[in-house]
C-alpha cells in the first residue's frame, strides 16, 4: 500500500509525516482492498487545521474523509 502525506499552506516535519503515515496505514485492518492513501494537511486556518484522507481501493470508488480540529 502506498501512503502519500503532504501539506497545503504550511510545512510538516519528517517526524510528523512518518507519524501520520504509520497511523493511516492501520486502515488496512478494516478494509484490505486499499491500494493507496493520500493524506493532505491544510494549514490555511492555523488555529483550526484540516486533514483530508483519500483512500483508493480495488473495484471501489475513492473513499474521502475530511476533518478539522484544533488538536491535531
Mind listing the pLDDT tens digit for each residue in 5-63?
A: 999 999 999 999 999 999 999 999 999 999 999 999 999 998 999 999 999 999 999 99
Q: What is the DSSP string of 6-72?
A: EEESS---HHHHHHHHHHHGGGGGT-TTEEEEEEEEE-SSTTS-EEEEEEEETTSPPEEEEEE-S--
Q: Which domains does the chain have, with CATH numbers?
A: 2-68 (3.30.160.100)
pTM score, whole prediction: 0.90
What is the Cα gyration radius of the chain? Answer: 12
User: Does residue 71 surpass a pLDDT of 90?
Assistant: no
pLDDT value of residue 16: 93
pLDDT value of residue 46: 85
Question: Which run of H or E residues covers position 3?
Answer: strand 2-8
Amino acid at each position: 500500500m502506498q501512503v502519500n502525506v503532504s501539506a497545503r499552506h504550511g510545512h510538516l516535519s519528517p517526524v510528523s509525516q512518518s507519524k501520520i503515515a504509520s497511523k493511516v496505514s492501520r486502515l488496512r485492518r478494516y478494509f484490505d482492498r486499499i491500494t493507496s492513501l493520500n493524506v493532505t494537511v491544510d494549514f490555511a486556518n492555523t488555529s483550526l487545521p484540516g486533514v483530508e484522507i483519500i483512500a483508493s481501493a480495488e473495484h471501489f470508488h475513492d473513499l474521502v474523509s475530511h476533518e478539522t480540529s484544533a488538536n491535531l
